[in-house]
Structure 1
Amino acid sequence: MYLFRAPNSTYYTRICLPKSLRDNGFPFDLKISLLTKRRDEAVERNFILVPQLRKLIDNAFQEYNPSTFRDNVDVLVNQVRDSFTLRDTVRLPVRQVRTASSLQSQTVTMIASPATKTKTIITVKKAFAKFIISKQHAKVRPLTIEQLKQRTEHFLSNLTSRCVSQVTSADAIRFRDRLYQEGRSYKTNKDYLASCRQFFKWCKQMKYVTDNPFQDITVQEQAKKKSQDEERERWSITDLVKLYRSSAFQSKPDEFKWITTIMLYQGLRPREACQLRVADICNKEGIDCFLISEDGQDQHIKTASSLRYVPIHPILIEKGFLDYVANRKAARCIQLFNYKPDGKWQDWSKRYCQQFGRLQAAIGMPANARPTAYSFRHTFIDELKQKGIEESLVAQIVGHTHQSMTFGRYGKKYPMQKLATVIRSVTFLELESSREMI
């Protein structure tokens, strides 16, 4: 994302879209005129426009198809432009391929449409079927679609309204109250409402409804018996030593041990580690790194923030990880490990997690009373937290969206050298002194 000045001296904002979106028919980038030839004014308008565009791009991974995305961008840009005080410019096109006159015509239409509030008459059942098809066309992951179906159908199954336009906020409130009575967790109830909200947001975009009945419906968070930190169990050093020094772990193939160690020392999600390709071990700014992306066949990342480079921890290099990579490359392997997408949801980490659970049981770690494979990531993050590492640094390393608007939207990425220094600070001396680590 950057600010640039066109040959006619007008300033533009340009944002490149992630490759995963471009591969699914989304535009390569967004070039948007800021309607000014003054740099100070352009910078101010850029600060207003970019956060809202970024939110659209983040939502595009699950909520939009390319056509809807372009329409939403146009609507957003025109709304933001209405707040601009025009001085020495006239309205310019949202995209360079459009003319000013066509944009003005579209703007007039969009301004007039809220007054008429026309909507298409369609049944709830038919609208929901179209919604699911839209998600499938947008290449949303099957697991995400199944969750949307299950949660939204829980609401739709008790509806008395046949037409989707007849659903009201009162229906949404009754559903929220029913969720309370059914005894699910706060997070689960929140997910149920979010799925319904997403469906009716799509209905509004399709002009099936004039308002989203779930727009302002929220769930009340109950007092927790455990803090968030306690809920996210991490590995104790005692359990780590027990795991690594066990004969059950040592008898596992190298790939199993490398995946375990990568999650512990790099903070990768299980799926991110299991789906790594040989080509994902690369050099960035002179530092050996993992590339976490979805460029490979069947690779997936959780969000746009998950796309990242992660410097390789020195302990992995010391224990021979780059030699392992070289051997896979010499054997002309595409994948770094032999795990494949498995199960109904094509989960790269399913088989690894099953193997890991059986290993834990074998060494006396009973189910429901032990840390999980995902807990390696929690352990890595907690180690950085205890060392007082800045949250924005941790977020870039582990692929979280940073909550701060200043850091998240306008701050540049940290250089690899700085990330490498942070990663080196994670140590488990009791493990590293052991010859049996890998």
Structure 2
Amino acid sequence: MTTATIRRDSSYRQYRKRVPADVLSRVKGRSYLLTLPAFGAAPESVVEVKIRPTISFSLRVRDPAAAKMRTGAVSAELERIFEAIRTGPIDLNRQQMVALSGKVYDLIVRQFEKDPGEPEDWEAWKGFTWAAIEGRVTNPPSISWRNFMTERHSALGHFGVDSGPELLDTIARSPPGDNTASLELRFGLLTSMVLGREGLEITEKSRLELLRWIGDAALDAGVAMKKASQGDYTPDPKAARFPPFQSSTLPESVSLTDLFDRWKAENKPAASTITTWRGIIGDFRKHLKYDDAARITDHDIVAWKDTRVAAGRSAKTINDSDLACLRAIFRFGVINKIITRNPTEGIKVRVKKEAGKGRLPYTNDEVARLLACAEMETLPYLRYVPLLLATTGSRVQDIVQLWSENVTEEDGVPVLRITPAPDGASLKTVGSERVIPMHPAVLASGFVEFARSMKGPLFYGGRPRRNVRKDGEGRHPSKGTSNRVSKWVRELPGFQDKRKDPNHAMRHWLKSAAAKAGVLDSVANYIQGHTDSSVAGHYRHFDDMKSLAAELAKIPIPTVKT
């Protein structure tokens, strides 16, 4: 059970999670560092947790949305740690150890390069690090994620001096010894942190060797930060020595493109989704400047997300399109054991709802004027698509891809069969596929007679067109029809309100009109192709066309008053 609660003595949200008994029996009392992702004004932070029957700590945010995001991210990280504990310890090779030590180097530099303090701070810090590596001090202070540089006072207590050449001379006079304990004391928490992020549980032999490599990396980072404290930000050539981490259970490398193609082959998404998502993947690769899915970290995702925000992309688009794409691809990779973790977990743009910016439905007057204009058109897609949208509340793509055989009868009732088109056009959801009766206004418009006179697609050509590529990509021709309808609506007098989508505002209107007419929400949802996710919804079926037609006929279609 995982919850985000509020304690009586704190306004911050609290995280609570019971630790599974099998995990508790193996590592009770061991400490781990968990990352709390940045959210809005709350910066990224790290929390130390000790494995107990119930883990609890502050999420360091008050906002419920931020708490929910951090709860999800921390839960995912803990599950990786628990799974590694259950799997049992593994041995690391040399390359993996150096790669993991590089993550510690990056952590230290990223934490302090903007404000590195004074050179004397780093002299004390480096002194303790060197002394721990060589076993010259038995109880060095642990490198903390809270602050790495407040060690001058400790150095004074340990060695009698706090900085400068005298400190190094004093440490050098202490004989080297067994560094097993000092390495763990100095670097143990950071080691557990990088192992937890990668979901690794390693043998004692590998851990001791990894501690040595992390000590060397921490010493290099201290040297680089001392230079930065003196105003020298020359790139550190030693930073290039760290390879990307690669799990021994994974292939040498898997590209984002390959991962996407494997996801596509298994999930068989719509052609439009493939085209859109391939563009998102391309933009992300361009930002990364490499194409190795296993190397990508949560920091890479955040950095790319920030570039999308800076480019003016809306929060909804970033969350529902950009991040949704990467999240699905990486989740597929984790489930299929192609990569070890999903770096997108818990990352999103905060959506702040502002007055005056939400979507609006058409008014009755706008619907009447729009349909009156459509009635005067001769092009079938302009004459009939707006009317079908108004009387079904469908997504525009459901309508523009109709074929003549989709207009038929069932139980003597004229109906529309909303199905995937024979030439490759798909529907958005499973609930989009349905059979719905035609409204009396449609029957009176001549649409049925028009459909019977056609063969193949009704609104994007007089014969079947198959210009979707064999690989499933490419824009379906019906998409061009929906764009032309939108353009036509926008050019009508009085239809320039950007809060009213040219086609989708009709979908919003019908939902309200159905409620006013006394049509049950479940019936309106079915007609519009809205998926009912409730338990009852899975048992509800609409197969009585006469009753459904009677319900639909209750909804009055506005007309222009003369």
What TM-score comes out, normalization by structure 2 length? 0.48
Matches of 1:369 and 1:147 in 2, distance apart? 23
Residue 243 in 1 paired to residue 370 in 2?
A: yes
Residue 427 of structure 1 corresponds to 556
Shift of 1:365: 4.2
For the aligned residue pairs, the C-alpha RMSD in angstroms reads 3.5
Matched, 1:184 2:306: no
| CA drift at 1:130 | 1.1
2:327 paired with 1:197: yes
Shift of residue 226, structure 1, vs aligned partner: 3.7
Summarize the alignment of residues 112-191 of structure 1 with structure 2, pairs less than 5 Å apart. 119-123=249-253, 126-135=254-263, 137=265, 139-159=268-288, 163-190=292-319, 191=321
Query: Residue 151 and residue 251 in structure 1: after superposition, are their counterparts in 2 closer, same or farther (change >3 A)?
Result: closer
CA change 1:243–1:155 in 2 (3 A) is: closer
Of 506, 514, 531, the residue aligned with 1:384 is: 514
Give the distance between the partners of 1:211 and 1:355, measured in 2 at CA.
43
Instruction: Name the SS of the counterpart of 2:340 in structure 1.
Output: coil
Q: What SS class does the counterpart of residue 258 from structure 1 fall into?
A: helix
Deviation (angstroms), 1:282: 2.3
Distance 1:262 1:162 in 2: 45
Give the SS at the match of 1:403.
coil
Partner of 2:404: 278
* CA distances 1:301-358 after superposition (whole Å, capped 9, x unpaired): 1111111011111222233333333333xxxx22334547789512404235425524
Runs of 5+ unmatched residues, structure 1: 1-113
- 1:210-229 Cα deviation digits (max 9, x unpaired): 221223334322132247xx
- Structure 1 384/321 Cα, relative in aligned 2: closer, same or farther at 3 Å? same
TM-score, normalised to structure 1, is 0.60
Deviations 1:389-421 (A, max 9, x none): 4332222111111232x1333434463334323
1:314 matches 2:444: no
Provide the C-alpha distance between the structure 2 equivalents of 1:253 and 1:162, rounded to a whole number of angstroms: 47
Q: Distance in 2 between matches of 1:164 and 1:338?
A: 40
Deviation at 1:249, TM superposition (A): 5.3
Q: Which 4+ runs in 1 deviate beyond 6 A? A: 114-117, 340-343
Query: C-alpha distance in 2, partners of 1:214/1:362?
Result: 43
**What are the ranges of 5 or more consecutive residues in structure 2 without an aligned counterpart?**
1-199, 203-246, 469-473
* Amino acid across the alignment from 1:203: G
Within the candidate set 278, 293, 303, 2:419 is matched to 293
Partner of 2:340: 210
Q: Output one character per residue of 1:355-399: Cα deviation in whole Å (capped at 9) or x when no partner.
A: 552465254644748651332222222212344543322221111
Structure 1 vs Structure 2: percent identity of aligned residues?
A: 19
Matched residue type, 2:295: Q
| SS of corresponding position for 1:261 | helix
- Pair 1:370–1:252, CA change in 2 (3 A): farther
Residue pair 2:381, 2:481 contacting (<8 A) in 1 also: no
For the structure 1 residues 275 and 146, does the alpha-carbon distance in structure 2 shift closer, same or farther, using more than 3 Å as the test? closer
Do the aligned residues in 1 keep the contact of 2:367 with 2:558 (CA within 8 Å)?
A: no
Is contact 1:293–1:299 with CA below 8 Å preserved after alignment?
no
CA deviation map 1:183-221 (0-9, x unaligned): 432211212221111221232244232221223334322
Count of residues in correspondence between the two structures:
309
| 1:270-292 per-position Cα deviation (integer Å, ceiling 9, x unaligned) | 22222212211222344221000
Deviates more, 1:378-387 or 1:132-141: 132-141
CA distance in structure 1 between the aligned counterparts of 2:351 and 2:492, rounded to whole angstroms: 38
Distance 1:253 1:160 in 2: 48
CA distance in structure 1 between the aligned counterparts of 2:384 and 2:252, rounded to whole angstroms: 53
Corresponding residue SS for 2:453 = helix
Matched, 1:336 2:465: no
The 2-side partners of 1:144 and 1:217 are apart by: 21
